[in-house]
A and B are shown apart, each in its own frame.
Chain A
Amino acid sequence: MRTSGWFRKNGVASLLLPNVLALAGCYTGVNGERSTAGQDAGESADDGVDDGVDDGADDDAGDDGPVGLCGDAEVGLTDLRRLTATQYDNTIRDLLGIEGNPAADFSADERVGPFKSNVAAPIGDLQAEQYMAAAEALGYDAVTDLPALLPCDPAAGEDACAEQFIAEFAPKAYRRPITATEAAALLEVYNEGKAEADFANGIRLVVQGVLQSPFFLYHVEFGTGDGADGSIVTLTEHELASRLSYFLWDTMPDDELFSAADAGELSTEAGMIEQVDRMLADPRAREAVASFHLQWLGVDEVQGVEKSPEFYPNFTPELALAMREETAAFANAVVLDGDGTLATLLTADYTFTEDPSLLAMYGATLPADHVAGDPVPLPAGQRAGLLTQASVMTKHAHANQTSPVHRGMVVRQNLLCQILAPPPPDVDNVPPSPDPEATTRERFEQHRADPSCSACHNLIDGFGFGFEHYDGTGAWRDMDGVNPVDATGWIVGTDFDGDFDGAVALAQNMAGSELVAQCVARQWFRFAFGRAESSDDECTTDALDTAFAESGQDVKALIRQLVLSDSFRFRRATPVGAESVPGEGEVR
């Protein structure tokens, strides 16, 4: 079933939407949402466990729990998440100085919507062994350069140096201060390793243990209280620091962020914004901003797409990679270097690729006075922002033809956050074969003619036909076989309904849409938190919509508002003692 395959490939999760399309039998609205019972009364006594999760920042106000931006703090259920493969690799890079791809063979990451996030399933034996194999190899690697690894010289006293190493390494790895108990346990591992062989062996075992600890592998968050009664808790400074760094850099905090957390700066708005601005200006933000846009549009794996050489002889894996990099570079240039607005992202008629094959495909050339990093103009009237980029057109097309359905779905689902049901299971939905005599529109005529198809396809094809000027690899075409391209389309169920001609016009309509803006805000929410929003996140989603609108839809304003929001600063966990109810609590 094609669309379920599309869903499967794109991992689209059902999403809560601000608007409901009232077309029977087609639109899937909200199926129910997890809403917690009222908050429990506030101050939690220390649970007596020495686990190092109290750093003094405490926003609790009296008996009603912490106070947020809308009164009492509001946040949706925040389940435990595990590092993604990219996060693992980046964290290893920054923790140990080891480049490479140690997570290459880890089991696949889950996705929430289009965004990678390991929040649903527990791990099994296989993953535990994968972590062990990686930790063992990394341990050996790390001790080949002991001076780089250690903060001290073992010649001046091995055991003292081991203690010092543990005191500095473990807090970085666990992304929080450690307790005396934890330090002692790690020292015991060192002693056992040293007894087996030598000092280096002891250090190696410490590294191996730390890398397999749940405090390394999961984003552990308990907040300033004990969280045991299911109430909302304020996150600690270090938990905030970790959220910031994994959101903006997809890696662990750096020394400066750790220092800011130590100094209690992140619980103030000014301190938080200072870090956010510093981090956005850092090169590491480019990978995360690119990652958002690539995943959002379903093109983070476009380099693996295969095309029919008969129809697209110029398509190569190298070209596909250049397409991916183009989208990444464009997103960074607009969001981090430019005005950062949704309008520019959707309508810009320039690119930042310098790949000769891709530029040739676009029909563009580097201007004579081009300086690296300058935008490269694209042929007039042909392109508008992200949607008409080669990556998007390539991924959402077939091996041998375009796909108005896939492209229409990207607009409907990824940009409007409106989820549609897949076709009935017994439908033959293999695209009709390319026919030089008939246009795509003509070949897909059954979608409009057949009443069992038209209700939904009316919502999809109207967008998708607008992209007919871009072939299955995104190249501009004026002809579809022997016929001229007809890229007229129609829009229903939005706040910019009407007819249009061509994707450029469509993009300009979308740039002014409040629905699109709200959807973009929701997508950033999911990316930042690795979960879908619920009605308990309303304080945050309202604030995001407002901040986005008031800033002229500047993505940076969205990012800043995200880190100041209740959903960022607080956590709501399933109460200790609550039964595991598998499958429930998944936000629809």
Chain B
Amino acid sequence: MSNRHRVRGTAPRKPFNPGFSRRAFLGSTAAGAMLTPFVPLLEPEARGGGVQPFPTRIIFLFSANGTLHERWVPTGGQTDFTLSQILAPLEPYKDKLVILDGMRVIRQGLGDGHQMGMACMWTGNQLLAGPFQGGDGGTAGYSGGISVDQHIANTVGVETAYKSLEFGVMTGGANNWTRMCYAGPDQPVAPEDNPQAMFDRLFADLDVDPAGMEKLKAERRSVIDLVKGDLTTLTNKYGGNDKLKIEAHLDAIRAIEMRNEAAVPVCEQPVLNLGFDPYANDNFPETSSRQIDQLVMALACDLTRVASLQWSASVSGVRFSWLGQTTGHHDLSHLGDSDPTMLDQITAVNIWYAEQVKYLLDQLAAIPEGDGTLLDHTLVVWGNELSRGNSHGNHPVPFVLAGGANGLIEMGRYLDYGDTPHNRMLVSLCHYMGLSEQQSFGDNDPASGGLDGLI
């Protein structure tokens, strides 16, 4: 018999057991985060018959606190260059790199170097007013513009289950130092830092039997209708930014609805049992690898064509203990140019990040797609919020492109653009992903056109 008026404090307390979710359908492996060697089955025939070209993908990567330009920049000419110390790990992919030198991330308006660097990196736009204390005597909010990945996703993402996917490794709180992707002005897009949570989100449904899937979809449909109804009621009762919040929530529910109505992607079920704390400093490399694995799988399964991976955040304080370092990254980056500790350790940090980029390229190259690989059909864009840590500089901010770019970009080049707003690069990236009408990107640079000679 139930307690009709359950008195607080005497109700049976049950521990929260997430095992009753659809994850219960999944098999589990031993702890240790071993993923089965992934054999993608995104054959062209499975996508509606006939042989079609593989879709073009783009991946955005972020690492923090600038680089050491003198150890990053290649030597030599455009097509016959030598990689420097920091980019040396990418040697096996040299003919699939485009190293962009001379990029200036314009800063104007509100915010300090780190804030502007982070928020402008993919938006090219000024920050809005807001509550995050920083800058020279003022505060700043989130970006005033959409980021290039989201802008691209708004067009190409309509064809995939997820418009885009944002992965993170220990990105931290919710403010303008920790967000690099924006769905619009004042609309930060949060990355998912927990590989297990991302896995459950992306892959948990792949293993559900068809009858079970139909039931799940019908039930979700029912709940979605209820939630949409409530949100629609609310949109008429709010104005201004509050209305924006409700509308954004409604958009998110519609995206869930769209996924619910779509066919389950044809893809082999991967497995993940994380087994370690993805928020612990010393697990940073392992967490990074698991996120990269899933990012690659998501692309291979065509769950999305636009993805990003954010390593930490601007002002990153990650301590590279696995490299024998005891001082956090940000503190190190502020040591002086004559300090050998700074030079050695910042170099080591950036080499390590280059090695992670190589790991990503290796995973992409391991996925066969038609006569080529997923890497052939992808462009990786690796950026930073600063040019150099101790000066908080904004020129030249290091950008490295990697991959086959689906044949749309001539790779294997070192291009020095002197002193060029990086907004042009953002425009070029739009062109690469098929947004050929894009003229400019971000209010920091009203001029139009992409980077000369890139595409």
Contacts and interface: CB of A to CB of B under 8 A. Distances in A.
Interface string B208-248: 00000001001110110011011101101111111111111
Contacts of B12: 97, 145, 148
A464 to B, nearest CB: 18
B263 interface: no
Interface stretch (A324-332, A344-352, A511-519, A572-580): A572-580
B139 A8 contact: no
Interface in A213-262: 213-215, 218, 220, 222, 226-228, 230, 254-255
B237 A227 contact: yes
Contact of B240 (A138, A147, A585): A585
Contacts of A107: 174, 190, 192
B107 to A, nearest CB: 10
Interface stretch (A150-158, A377-385, A482-490): A150-158
A193 B234 contact: no
Contacts of A576: 236-239, 243
Contacts of B172: 8, 108
Contacts of B183: 124
Interface string B291-321: 0000000000000000000000001010100
Interface string B390-412: 11100000000000000000000
Contacts of B130: 120, 583, 586
Interface in A198-224: 201, 205, 208-209, 212-215, 218, 220, 222
A205 B175 contact: no
A197 B216 CA distance: 11
Contacts of B315: 1, 4-5, 8
A419 B241 contact: no
Nearest to B392: A425
B343 interface: no
Given A141-B20, A144-B14, A128 B190 contact: no
Interface stretch (B35-43, B330-338, B374-382): B330-338
B124 interface: no
A149 B2 CA distance: 7
Given A123-B245, A196-B219, A147 B141 contact: no
Given A1-B114, A428-B390, A255 B227 contact: no
Contacts of A306: 281, 319
Contacts of A208: 219, 223
B241 A585 contact: yes
A573 B245 CA distance: 14
B189 interface: yes
Nearest to A580: B244
Nearest to B112: A4
Contact of B241 (A79, A113, A149, A197): A79
B366 interface: no
Contacts of B8: 94, 254-255
A256 B66 CA distance: 57
B129 interface: yes
B136 interface: yes
A421 B219 CA distance: 53
B455 to A, nearest CB: 30
Contacts of B233: 49, 51
A126 B128 contact: no
A430 B335 contact: yes
Contacts of B122: none
A560 interface: no
Contacts of A148: 2-3, 6, 11-12
A120 B133 contact: no
A111 B173 contact: yes
A197 B252 CA distance: 28
A334 interface: no
Contacts of B247: 122
A498 to B, nearest CB: 28
Interface stretch (B194-202, B421-429, B436-444): B194-202
B267 to A, nearest CB: 18
Contact of A122 (B11, B245, B281): B245
Contacts of A227: 237
A551 to B, nearest CB: 30
Nearest to B202: A129
A120 B175 CA distance: 10
A2 B162 contact: no
A121 to B, nearest CB: 5
Given A79-B242, A110-B175, A574-B242, A124 B248 contact: yes
Contact of B2 (A120, A135, A152): A152
Contacts of B20: 137, 140-141, 144
Given A126-B192, A153-B1, A422-B134, A97 B252 contact: no
Given A120-B142, A583-B185, A80 B242 contact: yes
B418 interface: no
Contact of A1 (B13, B113, B175): B113
A296 to B, nearest CB: 16
B187 interface: yes
Contacts of A192: 218-219, 222
Given A28-B138, A51-B233, A105-B197, A138 B16 contact: yes
Contact of A213 (B4, B7, B136, B227): B227
Contacts of A428: 334-336, 390
A140 B239 CA distance: 36
A12 interface: yes
Contact of A583 (B142, B251, B281): B142
Contacts of B139: 13-14, 31, 586, 588
A532 interface: yes
Contacts of A118: 174
Contacts of B190: 107-108, 124, 126-127
Contacts of B5: 255
B74 interface: no
Interface string A465-503: 000000000000000000000000000000000000000
Interface in A75-123: 79-80, 82, 92-94, 97-102, 105, 107-113, 118, 120-123
A535 B177 CA distance: 28
A510 to B, nearest CB: 22
Contacts of A41: none
B243 A580 contact: yes
A209 B222 contact: yes
A580 B114 CA distance: 27
A151 B5 CA distance: 8
Contact of B201 (A79, A124, A133, A141): A133
A585 B245 CA distance: 14
A138 B247 CA distance: 26
A582 B128 contact: yes
Contacts of B234: 214, 220
B95 to A, nearest CB: 36
B135 interface: yes
A464 B191 CA distance: 37
Interface in A305-322: 306, 308
A99 B15 contact: yes
B21 interface: yes
Which residue, B4, B132, B142, has most C-beta atoms of chain A within 10 A?
Answer: B132
18 contacts: A1-B334, A13-B131, A31-B139, A97-B11, A112-B131, A121-B142, A126-B201, A132-B256, A137-B21, A141-B20, A148-B3, A148-B11, A192-B219, A212-B226, A214-B246, A215-B230, A573-B242, A582-B128
Given A107-B174, A108-B173, 15 more contacts: A5-B317, A8-B178, A109-B173, A110-B175, A120-B186, A121-B142, A122-B186, A128-B256, A147-B1, A189-B226, A193-B222, A222-B237, A255-B7, A421-B137, A578-B240
Interface of B: 1-8, 11-18, 20-22, 112-115, 127-139, 141-142, 144, 162-163, 166, 172-175, 177-178, 183-192, 194, 197, 200-201, 215, 218-220, 222-223, 226-227, 229-231, 233-234, 236-249, 251-253, 255-256, 281, 315, 317, 319, 326, 330-331, 334-336, 390-392
